[in-house]
Amino acid sequence: MEILLGQVLRFASDARIEGPSAARHDRQGAVAIEAGKIVDVGPAEAVLARHPQAHRTDLGEKLISAGFIDAHVHYPQTAIIASWGKRLIDWLNSYTFPEEMRFADPAYAAEIASRYLDLALAHGTTSMCSYATIHSSSVDAFMGEAARRGMRALSGRTCMDRDTAPAGLRDTAQAAYDESKSLLTRWHGRDRLGYVITPRFSPTSTPDQLLALGSLWAEHPDCLMQTHLSEQVDEIAWVKSLYPAARDYLDTYETFGLLGENGVYGHAIHLEPREIARLRDVGAGLAHCPTSNTFIGSGLFDAAGLASAGIRIGLATDTGGGSSFSMLRTMAAAYEIGQLRRGALHPAALWYLATVGAAQVLRIDQAVGNIAVGMEADLIAVDLASTPAIAQRAERAGDFWEALFPTIMMGDDRAIAGVWVAGRRMK
Ligand code: GUN
Ligand code: ZN
């Protein structure tokens, strides 16, 4: 058994609604780990008294938290992050699709999967739900690299069969069904991995392909299904022109069996009242991608409004539409968008969205995303004084949240002092 000593932050209820009273913070806390699981947590004195023989790792003033969880990322876009000057559709055509074509080479896919996962861990992200490319080997590469690191990770083959996507990145409705099914059989539930049925978004799929993936999902309802929804105004107009009979963007998924409680819809910025009501009624999850929404110029997600409507929300980088690998930077962007939308999100709510909230959206919240007895020991230790600028502000703090907020707003991978995956130290 190993006991980590430091400040400990965990959640007892929904911090999006209840704010800081949902959190439990022990200034001198401890987390005990055995065989990859959390076996005890609480004030250090009590935990140490219960396990006097355990090996101790003293992290001093560092903050022990569940590892961050990224609810929506494109690992194949790692090498094109921060590509200049385009909005969504032009950005996809100019940067994204040419890069994704390179994943026809399995060796390149393996190189980028490894690079991405190393970057994610260095930034304190211990689980994620990643799009792959159209190439089945790009899913194999990601799953293989995640398994090698012992990570709880999710991914799926990104299906496109419409001539709106370039020829090198297209399949057919039948191939999307067959290949997705074969990958699902190979990877879903193996080690800590999960397969995600992944139509990219309705503009790059035919109705036939959406229907085929809808029937695959009906056969495997325990799998997640991920796609993009209402990210940019131009995109919504495009969807309307391609699907003239649809009531709205969400209806292009709903009609073909792609709306459900295990659905994860990325962006969801410009929603109609009917769409919000349907997402809430079916219990669907949303991925909030704030650095992407400002970087690609998409708009202002209504985190507070959708949370109070009772919709599950997870924070996400959306790298490389998103401009960072850091969930700290992502929380900062969510805070800034909140300010422009409905008002300030509390640091407790931001941290919750990047841990428990994202785990809930990915349906892995029984296993990861929080610190509780029986959960898997995916943990991070955060330095709340990682740069001189952060340290001098934290020094002035009157309470814990004020000490944490400068790291949320200005922190990056330098703030991540330790990372544990299933109890094994990775950083
Ligand atoms: N919509 C469809 N594909 C993508 C993608 O790769 N990134 C983003 N941000 N939006 C998308
Ligand atoms: Zn995306």
Q: Which residue ranges make up each domain of the chain?
A: 2-67+369-425, 68-361
CA of 282 to the centre of ligand 1 (A): 24
CA of 24 to the centre of ligand 2 (A): 33
Please return the burial class of 125, using the count of CB atoms within 10 Å of its CB with bins 0-12, 13-18 and 19+.
buried
96 close to ligand 1 (CB < 6 Angstrom): yes
292 close to ligand 1 (CB < 6 Angstrom): yes
Contact at 8 Å (CB) between 256 and 214?
A: yes
235 close to ligand 1 (CB < 6 Angstrom): no
pLDDT at position 89 is 96
CA of 344 to the centre of ligand 1 (A): 27
Give pTM, 2 decimals: 0.98
pLDDT at position 270 is 98
Contact at 8 Å (CB) between 369 and 359?
A: yes
Please return the burial class of 45, using the count of CB atoms within 10 Å of its CB with bins 0-12, 13-18 and 19+.
exposed
Q: Which CATH architecture has domain 68-361?
A: Alpha-Beta Barrel (3.20)
Distance of alpha carbon 216 from the chain centroid: 23
Class of the CATH-defined domain 2-67+369-425: mainly beta
- Residue linked to tokens 């309307």: 240
- pLDDT tens-place values along the chain, 427 residues long: 999 999 999 999 999 999 999 999 999 999 999 999 999 999 999 999 999 999 999 999 999 999 999 999 999 999 999 999 999 999 999 999 999 999 999 999 999 999 999 999 999 999 999 999 999 999 999 999 999 999 999 999 999 999 999 999 999 999 999 999 999 999 999 999 999 999 999 999 999 999 999 999 999 999 999 999 999 999 999 999 999 999 999 999 999 999 999 999 999 999 999 999 999 999 999 999 999 999 999 999 999 999 999 999 999 999 999 999 999 999 999 999 999 999 999 999 999 999 999 999 999 999 999 999 999 999 999 999 999 999 999 999 999 999 999 999 999 999 999 999 999 999 9
Contact at 8 Å (CB) between 382 and 67?
A: no
User: How far is residue 331's CA from residue 275's CA, in Å, rounded to a whole number?
Assistant: 25
CA of 187 to the centre of ligand 1 (A): 24
pLDDT at position 205 is 98
Nearest CA to ligand 1 atom 9: 321
Residue 290: name the closest of 324, 345, 328, 330 by CA.
Answer: 330
pLDDT at position 403 is 98
Phi then psi dihedrals of residue 381, to 5 deg: -115, 120
